[in-house]
Each structure stands twice: as C-alpha cells, then as structure tokens.
Amino acid sequence: MRRIAILNQKGGVGKTTTTVNLSAALAATGRRVCVLDLDPQAHATTHLGLEPDGTLPSIYDVLVSNKPLASVRREADQNLWVCPADINLAAAEVELAGVVGREVILRESLAQDATDFDFMLMDCGPSLGVLTLNALAAADEVFIPLQPHFLALHGLSKLLETTALVSRRINPKLQVTGVVVCLFDAQTKLAQEVVNDLRAFLDKSHNQPVPWADARVFDTKIRRNVKLAECPSHGKSIFRYAPTCPGAIDYAALANEVIGAVDVGPAPAPIAVPAETAVPVAV
C-alpha cells in the first residue's frame, strides 16, 4: 500500500481537489483507495458526498478515543472509501497536546487495521500542527500541490524543512515524491518560469541526503477549470460531475502518471480519456 500525504501549509492551492479527484481517478483504474480527511474543515468529506455534522464517527474518534479505523470508514464510491472529518477535529490539537506519542497515533491505528488498500491518500489541513505531523508520521510519500507563483516557492522551503525534520526524528521512510502544479495557465509566462525554477531547485537536490532527493515536478499540470470548483458543492468527484472536462482529463492523466511511477501489482487498464476531449496538457 502506498500511503501518500497531500500537503501544503498554504491554503487554496488545490490540496483537497487533488486528494479527492486523484483518489477517484485511481479508484477508476480498479485500485482500492482510501481517503483520510485530516482537515478540521472537512472539505474532502463534503466533496465525497458525506455530511460532516458530527453525528457519525470520524477520524477525530480514531485520534482521540482510539476507535479503530474500520469503525469510521465509509464507502464513497466503487473502490473508494473515506475516513471522514468533522468540526470536532479542530479540538484534537488541544486535546492531544499532553498525550505522549501523539504524533504517531494515526500510524499505530493503521498498523492495527486489517483492511488492505492499494493507495491511502491523506488530505492535510493548511497548517503544520499535530494532525499534519500524524499524516507525515504515517505516510511513505508526500505530494505537494503548488500554485505556480513565486510566493508559493517561498513557502515550499518551509514545508521541505518540516519533512526533513519528521524524516530525521519520527519517520525515516518519508520521501517527497513530487510536486503537483495546480491552477496552471499555460498562456502566462509566470507559470512557465515558476515551473522551470522549481525543476531547477529539485534537480540540485538529487543525490543529497534529504527526503526530496528524488522528487520531481509531475509532467501532468492541473489546468484552471471551473468544473473543478463546482463539483464539491454537488458532493461528487470531477469524474461523476463532468467526466469529459479538462479537469477530469488532467486528473486521469495524473493518476496514470502516479501508477506508472511505482506500480502496485497487476494493473487494470488505465483510465480511458474520451478521444474527442483528449487534448495534450501544455507544458
């Protein structure tokens, strides 16, 4: 199982959009996928059609009350499950403040969970607190969604420092696999320059003793697309809401790229993109 934390401490860069739609795309290939919603805003939960009203068990109960993950997991679609969040999760930071080993609670819960998945994607909130540390302690990989502007590059260095600290002290297996460029506009010179700068930075880190030594910028860029902004309000992934739009095409391509990077056994056919809409992503 590949455990992937989708992480960026900056809000509005496409974390939840990427978590949900990449998960749906992977599930469409026949993989068994589970989403862990670790954001108190519960946007991934809402995006997958569940109401985060606090009446059902959630990931909060796993972290604070030691409930098994199986007791909170819900089926959202074929091959796709979610461990939902709700507003109670906002209190977890305070309630876990005095708990010994609070950073590894999620990792221990996953170790006790007998259900096997091919992929587990963790949607992290826009902070580097206890919830995010739990994700990093439990994950093997980090995907970083990034909006292509220069301020995003400044925040990236802080994020990479955090992964290095977690790798050194809590989770030596943690690796930054790659950066997903979101809200991409191929017509702007700025977007191209930021991607080139990012690639140059990651190239300099190759063969260095850091968790991002093998990281890359994914070839697939997630283009600006209003359908991606609309589908959460309908409680659907982009593949249920607008399966032939550019957003669906991009996330299908990203899923195929992720699967191709490190496969997980016998591979069903990749996601089919309708011929009439299959246009190459500009890079």
pLDDT tens-digit map of 224-239: 999 999 999 999 999 9
- Give the residue among 10, 75, 20 at the shortest CA–CA distance from 43: 20
Count up the domains in the chain and report the number. 1
Cα separation, 16 vs 127, in Å, equals: 14
Q: Is the pLDDT of residue 78 over 90?
A: yes
Q: Is the pLDDT of residue 137 over 90?
A: yes
Residues facing 142 on adjacent strands: 5, 176
Question: Based on the number of CB atoms within 10 Å of its own CB, is 149 exposed (0-12), middle (13-18) or buried (19 or more)?
Answer: middle
In a domain? residue 282: no
Question: Based on the number of CB atoms within 10 Å of its own CB, is 176 exposed (0-12), middle (13-18) or buried (19 or more)?
Answer: buried
Distances (CA, A) of 252 to 7, 63, 125, 203: 20, 32, 24, 26
Cα separation, 16 vs 122, in Å, equals: 9
How does residue 171 score in pLDDT terms, banded at 50, 70 and 90?
very high
pLDDT (mean) for 98-119 = 94
The letter for the amino acid at 177 is T
In a domain? residue 147: yes
Cα separation, 271 vs 261, in Å, equals: 15
Angle between helices 15-28 and 246-261 (to 10 degrees): 70
How does residue 178 score in pLDDT terms, banded at 50, 70 and 90?
very high
Residue 188 token pair: 């702007």
Domain extent, residue 83, equals 2-277
What residues contact 114, with CB distance under 8 A and at least 6 apart? 70
How does residue 271 score in pLDDT terms, banded at 50, 70 and 90?
low
pLDDT above 90: percentage of residues in the chain: 68
Residue 128 token pair: 């580097």
pLDDT at residue number 103: 93
Q: Any idea which residue has 């959630």 for tokens?
A: 58
**Domain at 169, CATH number:** 3.40.50.300
In a domain? residue 283: no
How does residue 207 score in pLDDT terms, banded at 50, 70 and 90?
confident
Q: What is the pTM of this model?
A: 0.90
In a domain? residue 101: yes
Cα separation, 181 vs 174, in Å, equals: 21
In a domain? residue 92: yes
What residues contact 281, with CB distance under 8 A and at least 6 apart? 219, 220, 221, 223, 249, 250, 253
pLDDT (mean) for 38-61 = 92
Q: Is the pLDDT of residue 244 over 50?
A: yes
pLDDT (mean) for 98-111 = 94
Across the chain, mean pLDDT equals 89
pLDDT (mean) for 124-132 = 88
pLDDT (mean) for 56-63 = 94
